[in-house]
Amino acid sequence: MGRRRNLPIVALAMAVIAVQLLTAAAGKPQYLTQLTMAGYYSLVIVGLTLLMGYTGQISLGHAGFFAIGGYTSGLLTTYNLHPLIGQIPVSILQACGLLVSGKDLYGADLLVVRPWAACVVALLVTIGIAYLVGKPVLKLKGHYLAMATLGFGTIVYKVVLGSSLVGAADGISDIPAFPLFAGLVVTGKSALRAQNYYVAWGLVLGAMALLTNLIRSRVGRALRAIHGAEDAANAMGVDTGRYKLQMFVLSAALAALGGVFLTHYNGGIGPSEASVMKSVRYVAIVAVGGMANLWGALFMGVLLNFLSLRGSFGSYDDAVFGLILLAIMLFAPDGLLRAEFARRLPGLRRGQKAAP
Amino acid sequence: MSLALLFQYLVAGITYGTIYAIVAIGFNIIYNATGIINFAQGEFVMLGGMIGVTLRALLPMPVAIAGAVIATMLVGALIEMLFIRWLRRPSVLRLIIITIGLSIAIRELALLLWGEGVRALPYFTGTAVTSLSVGDVHISPQVLWVLGISAVMVAALNFFFARTLLGRQMRACACNREAAQLCGISAKNMVTLSFVLSAGIGALAGCVISPITYVQYDSGSSLALKGFTVAILGGLGNSMAAVAAGLLLGTLESFSIWVMPAAYKDVIAISILLLILFVRPSGLFGNAEAARLKDY
C-alpha cells in the first residue's frame, strides 16, 4: 500500500526530469527559468489549496505572506551592517557566524546576514505573523473572513509600498544568491538554470509529499469534517479552531518559503508581489484546479503561471485571471479539474440533479 | 496646533467620511436584499466618475452627471441579471469570488476604455482655488456640494424605504423573503433593484467627489475597503449608523496624518476594520444580543 500511495509523487519526479530533458533536447533551456519561477509560485498555491479546498477557509491575503518571506530575507541579506561593526548586537551575530562580508558594486565594504540565516528568520517571522493574525481572523466566517484576510493583505502591501527601508515603490534589488548545500546555489545566473530548476521542483516535490500524506491522515479527515460542517466537526470532538490555525500557519509558511526562494532567484522583490491582485490570482488558480484538488491546483498553477510569465496574456494578465475566476465560479463552482465534475457531466446533460 | 488647523482637518475628514458612508450604504442596500457583500461596490463609484467625465466633454454638467448615474445603474442591473440572478442557492464563498471577479473585470474594462490617466470633473462652482473663509478656516465650495448632495441622497433613500411602496417591498424582502413572496412581491426583482439603487448612489458619489479626489481605473478598490470598514463599524445592514461611522472613520483618518506618514493613511482604516471584526463584529452601534444569534 505504502508504495502505491507515493506513486503520484514518483510520477511527478519523473515528469520534472522529463521536462528538463525535453527542454534541453528541444534547445529551449530558457523555458526552465519560467518553470522555476512557476515552481516557487506553486508552493503558495498548494498551501492555499490545503487551506481553501480542504479546510474551507478563504484567504485573500496570501500574497502578503509570500511578500513577508521574500522581503524579510531580501532586507536581511542586503542591509549593510558594516557601519555598525563594534556594536554589541552586531558583534554577537558575527561571532555566531551569521554574517558575511563582501563588497558592493562600487567596492565599498558590505556586511550582511547570511542567506540561510535570513531564510530561517523570514520563515519564523512569517509563522509568527500568521499565528498572530490567524488566531482572531479564523474565528470569522464567510464575508467577514474574506474581508479580514483582504485587509491583512492590503496592510502588507501598503506598508512595503510606503516604507523607504524596503525601497518603497522600487522594492529591494541586488539581493545576493542563496548558497544551499553541496554547491547548489539559488541564483538567476543562466549557467545554473537547470540546477535551479531542480532546486525549485525538489521543494515542490517535498511540499506535495507532505501535503498529500497530510490530507490522507487523521488530520486530513478532520479538515474535511471542518469543511463539511464546522459545528458538527466540533461536536464530534474535532478541535476545529486548532486545526484551522495550524493549516493557516502551514500554508503561510509554504507561501513564505516560495517568497524567500523566488526573491533570491530573481535577485529582487517589489511591492507588486504583495498586491491584492496577486492574492486573487492564487485564489483563482486554486479554484480552477478544483478547490480540494492538490494535483489539479499544481497543474493549473504551473500552466497559468508559465503562460503569464512568458507574457502570453500581454497586458490582459489581470483580466485573464479575473475572467477565469468569474467563469469557474459561475459554471463549475467545484472547480474544473475535479473527478466529480467529470462524472456529473453526463447526468447534467440528461437534466438530472447531481448528488451533492 | 491652532484651532483653525484643527477645523481644517475636521472638514477634510468629514468630506471623505461622507463618501465612505455613501459607499457603505451601497454595501448595506445589497446586503439587506441578498446577504451578499458586493466586492464590486467601489467600481460603481469609479464608473460613475469616469462616465461623468466622458459625458462632460459633450454635455452640460448636470446632464452628464445624470447620464453617468443612469448608465451605472444599468451596469448594476446587468451585473445582477447576468451573474447573480440565475444562481441556485449559491454558497457564500462562491458569491464572494464572483463579485471579486466582477470587480476585476470592470476595472480592466475601464483600463481598456479610459487608460491609466487620472481624470476629474471640473469644480461645480468656482475653481480648485476658490474657497469660502469662515474665520481662518477655508472651505472649498465643492465640499459643500459633497455634503449637500450626500445629505439629500440619504434623506431621499430614507423617504424611499419608509414611504414608497417599492421601498417597503424591498424592506419586506430583506426581513423575510418567503413571506414577502407569499404577498406577491417578486424577491428576484427586488434584488435587481437593490443593485440598481446601490450602483446609482455610488455613481453619484463618484461624480461629486471626483473634482477633489480625482478618479482612475483602479480607484474603486480602496474606496470599497473603506466603505466596508464603515459598514462593519456601523453594523452591517444599518444605513443610518453607517453615516455616523463614515464621519468617524473619515475624521480619524484625517487626523492620523499627525502621527503617521500619509502613505500609511489606508493602514489606519484597515486596522480599524480588523480590530472591529475581532472585537465587536456586530459594529459599534449593533445590538450585542442580536449579534449572538448571527454567524460571523
* pLDDT per position as a tens digit, A169-207: 898 988 888 888 877 888 888 788 888 999 999 999 999
> Tell me, what DSSP letter sits at residue A231?
H
Sign, CA dihedral A206-A210-A212-A213, equals positive
Q: Please answer whether residues B40 and B82 qualify as being in contact, where contact means their C-beta atoms are separated by less than 8 angstroms.
A: no
For A325, the closest of B90, B97, B264 (CB atoms) is: B97
Interface residues from chain B to A (CB-CB < 8 Å): 37, 83, 87, 90-94, 96-98, 100-102, 104-105, 107-109, 221, 225, 228, 232, 261, 263-264, 266-267, 270-271, 273-274, 277-278, 281, 295-296
**Gyration radius of chain B over CA positions:** 19
Q: Where are the domains of chain A?
A: 32-77+114-276
d(CA A221, CA B214): 52
> Tell me, what DSSP letter sits at residue B286?
S
Do the strands A185-186 and A178-179 form a parallel or antiparallel pair, or are they unpaired? antiparallel
Scored b (16 or more CB within 10 A) or e, B179-206 reads ebeeeebebeebbbbbbbbbbbbbbbbb
Section A39-62 average pLDDT: 93
pLDDT at A354 over 50: no
Section A4-32 average pLDDT: 86
d(CA A261, CA A70): 7
Please, which pLDDT band fits residue A340 given cuts at 50, 70 and 90? low
d(CA A152, CA A140): 14
B104: nearest Cα among A314, A45, A276, A65: A276
User: Which residues, 6+ apart, have CB-to-CB distance to B114 below 8 Å?
Assistant: B50, B54, B217
Taking CA–CA distances from A145, the nearest residue in chain B reads B296
Beta-bridge partners for A102: A110
Section A16-35 average pLDDT: 88
Do the strands A109-113 and A178-179 form a parallel or antiparallel pair, or are they unpaired? unpaired
Question: Other C-beta atoms within 10 Å of A341: how many?
Answer: 17
- pLDDT above 90 covers a percentage of chain B that reads 48
Q: Is A58 on the interface with B (CB under 8 A)?
A: yes
Q: pLDDT digits over A243-261, tens only?
A: 999 999 999 999 999 999 9
Beta-bridge partners for B119: B215
Residues of A in contact with B281 (CB under 8 A): 140, 144
Instruction: Give the per-residue pLDDT at B131.
Output: 81
Q: Is A299 on the interface with B (CB under 8 A)?
A: no
d(CA B182, CA A279): 43
User: Which three three-digit cell numbers place residue A73?
Assistant: 530575507
3-class secondary structure, B185: coil
What tens-digit pLDDT sequence spans chain B (296 residues)?
A: 578 888 888 998 999 999 999 999 999 999 888 888 898 999 999 999 999 999 999 999 999 999 999 999 999 999 999 998 888 878 877 888 899 999 999 999 999 999 988 998 888 887 777 788 877 788 888 999 999 999 999 999 999 998 999 999 988 888 888 888 899 888 889 999 999 999 999 999 999 999 988 899 988 888 888 999 999 888 888 888 899 999 999 999 888 888 887 778 888 888 888 988 888 877 777 665 555 555 55
For residue A49, the distance in angstroms to the closest alpha carbon of chain B comes to 14
User: Which three three-digit cell numbers place residue B137?
Assistant: 478656516
Q: Please answer whether residues B200 and B30 qualify as being in contact, where contact means their C-beta atoms are separated by less than 8 angstroms.
A: no
B102: nearest Cα among B119, B116, B74, B82: B82
- pLDDT above 70 covers a percentage of chain A that reads 92
Q: pLDDT digits over B224-273, tens only?
A: 889 999 998 888 888 888 999 999 999 998 888 888 877 788 888 888 88
Section A102-127 average pLDDT: 87
With respect to CATH, is domain B3-120+138-291 assigned 1.10.3470? yes
Instruction: Give the per-residue pLDDT at A332.
Output: 79
Instruction: Give the per-residue pLDDT at A39.
Output: 94
Q: Please answer whether residues B210 and B50 qualify as being in contact, where contact means their C-beta atoms are separated by less than 8 angstroms.
A: no
| B273 with A140: Cβ contact below 8 A | no
